[in-house]
């Protein structure tokens, strides 16, 4: 039982490049979330999903896209990376909305 | 936007002492949660306290909730070096959507 996993762990991009971050959970959770964490700030929600095939915008969705084609996977895409997207990205999931969330280990992204 | 705000931003105490950190929020809530984040890791859920509860315990952790003051406190008794981490509070978002709103965290350092 791996819980929530994220790949890759670390990535360096040049401005304008694209990439996809993968989140996978093996707990059969309906709800999945993508956050970014910047120094001195709490987590900010980028996008979330309330079930397979659904996505919704969070607090800071601009510059990101997401897809949830399978219940266990939630992908976060950056189409044209910008230095402002340098951050640590966390995926989380849960079975009851607004209650306990289970987090992955994070992806550290540096955009040059 | 931040709903929860932790206080203090940083706290350094000797091993064996008690650590208290506070969280204030702005709007009515259904529940409030506390999470721990060790350096470079994902967040781990500690305790969820509902709006109709005033106090909750889990091992060396004690959480209180005062809905009249819109505040919560997390007490860690008999601190250990392994308690060194950042601690975040999160509240369910007003309006009944699926999001949690996160504070900026308290960085706790336990000195041996």
> Which CATH number goes with the domain that contains B65?
2.60.40.10
Q: Averaged over B28-54, what is the pLDDT? A: 95
Confidence of residue B81 (pLDDT cuts 50, 70, 90): very high
Provide the mean pLDDT of chain B.
92
Residue B83: the pLDDT is 97
Range of the domain at B10: 5-111
At B1 the pLDDT is 41
CB contact under 8 A, B88 and A43: yes
A30 touches B at CB < 8 Å: no
**How many domains are contained in chain B?**
1
Contacts of B68 (CB under 8 A, 6+ apart): none
Structure tokens at B31: 């529940």
Q: What is the pLDDT of residues A30-70, one digit of tens each?
A: 999 999 999 878 899 999 999 999 999 999 999 999 999 99
- What average pLDDT does range A95-103 have in this prediction? 93
The average pLDDT across A102-110 equals 97
* Tokens at A42, concatenated: 């709490």
With pLDDT > 90 as the criterion, what percentage of chain A qualifies?
A: 90
Query: What is the average pLDDT across B62-70?
Result: 96
Q: What is the mean pLDDT of residues B64-91?
A: 96
pLDDT at B4: 67
What are the start-end ranges of the E strands in chain A? 4-7, 10-13, 19-25, 31-37, 43-49, 56-57, 64-67, 73-78, 87-94, 102-103, 107-111
Chain B residues touching residue A101 (CB < 8 angstroms): 43, 45, 100
Which among B101, B99, B103 has a CA at the least distance from the CA of B86? B103
Residues 19-58 of B with CB under 8 A from A: 30-31, 33, 40-45, 48
- Name the residue with tokens 């950042």: B86
Contact flag B48-A44 (C-beta cutoff 8 Å): no
The DSSP call for residue B15 is T
Interface of A with B in 40-59 (CB under 8 A): 40-45, 48, 50, 56, 58-59
CB atoms within 10 A of CB B11: 18
Neighbours of A18 (CB within 10 A): 10
The predicted pLDDT at position B5 comes to 79
Its CATH class, for the domain covering A4-111, is mainly beta
């Amino acid at each position: 039982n791996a819980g929530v996993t994220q790949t890759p762990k670390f990535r360096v991009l040049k401005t304008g490049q694209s990439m996809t971050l993968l989140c996978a959970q093996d707990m059969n959770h309906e709800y999945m979330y993508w956050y970014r964490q910047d120094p001195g700030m709490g987590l900010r929600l980028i996008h979330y999903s309330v079930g397979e095939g659904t996505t919704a915008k969070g607090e800071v969705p601009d510059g990101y896209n997401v897809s949830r084609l399978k219940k266990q996977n939630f992908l976060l895409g950056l189409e044209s990376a910008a230095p402002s997207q340098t951050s640590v990205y966390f995926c989380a999931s849960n079975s009851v909305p607004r209650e306990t969330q289970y987090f992955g280990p994070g992806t550290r992204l540096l955009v040059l | 936007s931040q709903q929860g705000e932790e206080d203090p931003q940083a706290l350094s105490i000797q091993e064996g002492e008690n650590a208290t950190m506070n969280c204030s929020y702005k709007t009515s809530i259904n529940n409030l949660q506390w999470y721990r984040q060790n350096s470079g890791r994902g967040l781990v859920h500690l305790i969820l306290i509902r709006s109709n509860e005033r106090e909750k315990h889990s091992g060396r952790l004690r959480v209180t909730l005062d809905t009249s003051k819109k505040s919560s406190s997390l007490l860690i008794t008999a601190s250990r070096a392994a308690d060194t981490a950042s601690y975040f509070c999160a509240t369910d978002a007003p309006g009944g959507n699926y999001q949690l709103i996160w504070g900026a965290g308290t960085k706790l350092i336990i000195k041996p």
